[in-house]
Amino acid sequence: MSKGHFTPRKLVTIGNVVPELHYGPFSRGWWYYSDSQIQDSHIYAIPIRLGFQVALKLNQKHFIIRIVRNLENPNTPDFICEGEEIDSGVLSSSSAAINTIYECIFGNKNKTKYPGATMLGFHDPYIIQQMLNNKNYEGFASSFTYKYKQKQSVIWQKIERGIFSISIFQKGEMVKQF
C-alpha cells in the first residue's frame, strides 16, 4: 500500500466494552492482540468494542468502518464499511468489509487489498490507548474449543468473586455447567 493512497484514520466513536461479550464464553472473538509499541514492548489485548467507528480516506475517497453485532450470531463481532453511499452489508471480517467496498468503488481490476486490523487502527498507538482506557476487568475468564460428548464445544472457565465455574456450550447454547 503506497502512502499516497491512504490518509490516516480518524477515531469517530470508541464504542463499548459489553461484559457479556468481552468476558463471556465467546469472548475470544471480541479481543485483538497487538504487538504495536505504545510505551514498551508488551502485547496488548485490545477489546473489539461494539459500536467502534473509524473514518479514513483511501485514494481520495472517504470510508467509515463500524463494528456491529450480527443478529444471526450475536456471539461474534461483525463489520460494516461504508463509502460513496455504498455499504458492504454485515461481514465477518473487517478486511472483507473494507475490500468489498473498495472493489465496488474502484472496480474489480484493482487488486489492492487492505488489512482490516490496520485500517481499524489496531496498530496505531493513539487508537490502542483509547481502546484500552476505561476497560474494567471482571475477575478471570478463559475459553477454548474442544469436543464434549463427541461434539465441538466451547469450554468457558471463569473465576468471579472467588467462585470457580466451568460451562460447556454447543451451537451457542449451554449444555453443562460445573
pLDDT at 1 over 60: no
The pLDDT tens digits of the residues spanning 95-110 come to 999 999 999 988 877 7
- Count of structural domains, the chain: 2
By the 10 Å C-beta count (0-12 exposed, 13-18 middle, 19+ buried), 19 is classed as: exposed
pLDDT at 34 over 90: no
Residues 25, 8, single domain; the answer is: yes
Mean pLDDT of 16-35: 86
Contact 90, 78 (CB under 8 A): yes
Which residue, of 96, 112, 132, is where some domain finishes?
132
Model pLDDT, residue 123: 83
The pLDDT tens digits of the residues spanning 108-140 come to 777 788 888 888 988 888 888 888 886 665 667
Model pLDDT, residue 24: 85
Model pLDDT, residue 118: 87
Residues 76, 144, single domain; the answer is: no
Confidence band of 66 (pLDDT split at 50, 70, 90):
very high
Q: What is the mean pLDDT of the chain?
A: 85
Contact 141, 157 (CB under 8 A): yes
pLDDT at 15 over 80: yes
Which structural domain range is residue 57 located in? 3-132
pTM for this entry? 0.76
By the 10 Å C-beta count (0-12 exposed, 13-18 middle, 19+ buried), 148 is classed as: middle
Encoded amino acid at 45, one letter: A
Residues 16, 46, single domain; the answer is: yes
Encoded amino acid at 122, one letter: F
Which residue, of 98, 113, 132, is where some domain finishes?
132
